[in-house]
Structure 1
Amino acid sequence: MQSCQLYLISPLDVGGAFPDRLREALQAGPVAAFQFRVKNVDLAEAVRLAAPLQAICDEFDVAFIVNDDVGLAQKLGADGVHLGQGDESLKVAREALGKDVQIGITCHDSRHLAMEAGEGGANYVAFGAFFPTTTKETQYRPELDLVRWWSEMMEIPSVAIGGITPENCQPLIDAGADFLAVCGAVWNDPAGPTEAVKKFADVMSAGSAD
């Protein structure tokens, strides 16, 4: 069975002590990527908030992905950008960022959008929300069959997102998701981000050993 990896998404508040919490999370176990997600801040403030987090990701060899904002990704020299269906087009983003930057595309519950993204040169596609989530408002609820179909048909990795916890993630791993995108399950864990990441790592390592 293929291995599944953790893709951390930031809370909207990444100031204050958050860099220390990110370090705790990354020290706890293997994390493939971290998505920097802020809203309603200008470019200068976004750069200021991103700088310490990007440095921590570099230290742990974790891909630093910017949510929604091609200009910010370009300014930071980020490893990638994640685009929703209402954001900049994949074609324009690729022209701006070049061929070496990872571009991920939100595809909700749609085979058509995923195929379109893959044909357009996306580096990964994201499906969700698989479970109820309070991180953001969602209106799509894909079935596990979508992940299974994509895994069997395509080489491009898939990211599963939406309300994923250590307790409910096994079916997504079994279906062939390459990455689990998690936010609240790590940052809101009462035991802290270190323990949360360890819980995910335990499930993933058990799954890859089967």
Structure 2
Amino acid sequence: MTANTPPNRCRIVLIAPPSVEPSKVEAALAGGDVASLILPAEGTDETSFQVFAEKVASAARAAGVAVVVAGDTRVAGRIHADGIHIEGNKAELGEAVERYQERMMVGVGGAKTRDDALELGEERPDYIFFGRFGYDNKPEPHSRNLSLGQWWAEMIEIPCIVMAGSDIASVEAVGATGAEFVALSAAVFGEGVDPREAVARANALLDETAPRFED
């Protein structure tokens, strides 16, 4: 694997809300392979969120990491994000796919059941996310997210992201599902955690344990 050749297994997606210091995001990006960075507004006012997003997007671009803005298409446009994330609304997702997908990724989250996921999948998003921003507060991933991720990865071609837990070792359980991506937030940006070391360890664990995808 080289800097220009991503690993052929489950890859890391970082979830960085505005409560995270931009310097921590930059440190995390220096820890090894990261596929993309999702920025949820988390109720922050638009101006503050845009300032935060601009800072971390600059660091992400320098690292060759795609930036996805969750829930605010105006901020996504202003910072020239690589994608937008829609949460659990099929009509809103369909509109976003129609308006934006030619020039940026459009992803979706919020599915709690297989039927939810299939309904959202009908709109052909670029990815589906199993989990909830800010709810990775237990060491292990939520069992429902693991189950949905494994089922989706086996049945559907659209890539999926599965939320890991607050323990970096939880990437192993997500990787084992066959999901294309594992989302990390608290395990990297939590109090007392070294973001760079956390991403490096996550990549090492995935290198050791995650199944390889077919070319």
TM-score, normalised on structure 2? 0.82
Question: Does structure 1 residue 11 correspond to structure 2 residue 17?
Answer: yes
Identity %: 27
Assess if the C-alpha contact under 8 Å between 2:175 and 2:211 holds in 1: no
Q: Distance in 2 between matches of 1:19 and 1:149?
A: 35
- Output the amino acid matched with 1:100: R
Q: 1:162 to 1:29 in 2, by over 3 A?
A: closer
Q: Distance in 2 between matches of 1:188 and 1:157?
A: 27
Q: 1:123 to 1:186 in 2, by over 3 A?
A: same
Q: 1:166 to 1:13 in 2, by over 3 A?
A: closer
1:55 aligned residue: 58
Q: How many residues align?
A: 201
Structure 1 residue runs without a partner (length 5+): none
Which SS does the other structure have where 1:126 is aligned?
Answer: strand
Q: 2:146 aligns with which of 117, 128, 144?
A: 144
Q: Distance in 2 between matches of 1:45 and 1:143?
A: 31
1:71 aligned residue: 74
Q: 1:108 to 1:119 in 2, by over 3 A?
A: closer
Q: 1:121 aligns with which of 111, 119, 124?
A: 124
Q: Distance in 2 between matches of 1:204 and 1:145?
A: 19
Structure 2 residue runs without a partner (length 5+): 1-7
Q: 1:171 aligns with which of 170, 173, 182?
A: 173
CA deviation string 1:22-60 (max 9, x = no partner) = 111111100011111223333333222211211111101
Question: Does structure 1 residue 46 correspond to structure 2 residue 49?
Answer: yes
Assess if the C-alpha contact under 8 Å between 2:90 and 2:123 holds in 1: no
2:192 aligned residue: 190
Q: 1:119 to 1:209 in 2, by over 3 A?
A: closer
1:96 aligned residue: 99
> Please, which moves more after superposition, 154-163 or 105-114?
105-114
